[in-house]
Amino acid sequence: KSYTLVLKCHVDLAKQKFPNGILGPDLSCIARTSLWDHGLNYGHGVGHGVGAFLNVHEFPYGICGCPMGQSAIPVTAGMIMTIEPGYYPEGEYGIRLENVFVTEQSEHEDFLSFSALSLFPFERNLMDVKSLSESEIAWINSYHERCLVDVGQELLQ
């Protein structure tokens, strides 16, 4: 159940269309809703910038719940950042599903979307498919198809 909830958080933000110039805190909520619906949360930001100075958590932008700092930078096309929701029941285990995305113009004027840059398949054996919506399943299937086409041969070696 926990894996699927974290996966839903990841997918829901990854497939979201959003206004150009939105701030990180506005996106953060999308990647927490499935956990919040079950009274669960995680104590870290949803994502961070990648590629400016080759640090792990790079400014000037990111997706966290605070309206200041890196989340005060408007999200625009061409930004590279992570989406990495998680869940960590104390003393038991931890789950974090992290991927790197680039923001790009969506099919809607003045709206952006995410496109995955790092490709790793999600663990199907841990998914509770009955808990996933049709649009979440469609996104996961499309993403897995891209993994297979783009890096599938490498994964088999």
Rounded mean pLDDT, 71-75: 78
pLDDT (tens digit per residue) in 3-56: 999 999 999 999 999 999 998 888 989 999 999 999 999 988 888 878 766 666
How far is residue 88's CA from residue 141's CA, in Å, rounded to a whole number?
Answer: 26
pLDDT (tens digit per residue) in 111-135: 999 999 999 999 999 999 999 999 9
Q: Considering just the CA atoms, what is the radius of gyration of the chain in Å?
A: 15
pLDDT (tens digit per residue) in 39-50: 999 988 888 878
Residue 112: phi and psi, rounded to 5, are: -115, 170
Give per-residue burial for 62-93: e unless 16+ CB within 10 Å, then b.
bbbeeeeebbebebeeebebbbbbbbbeeeee
Report the amino acid identity of residue 142: S
How far is residue 141's CA from residue 13's CA, in Å, rounded to a whole number?
Answer: 16
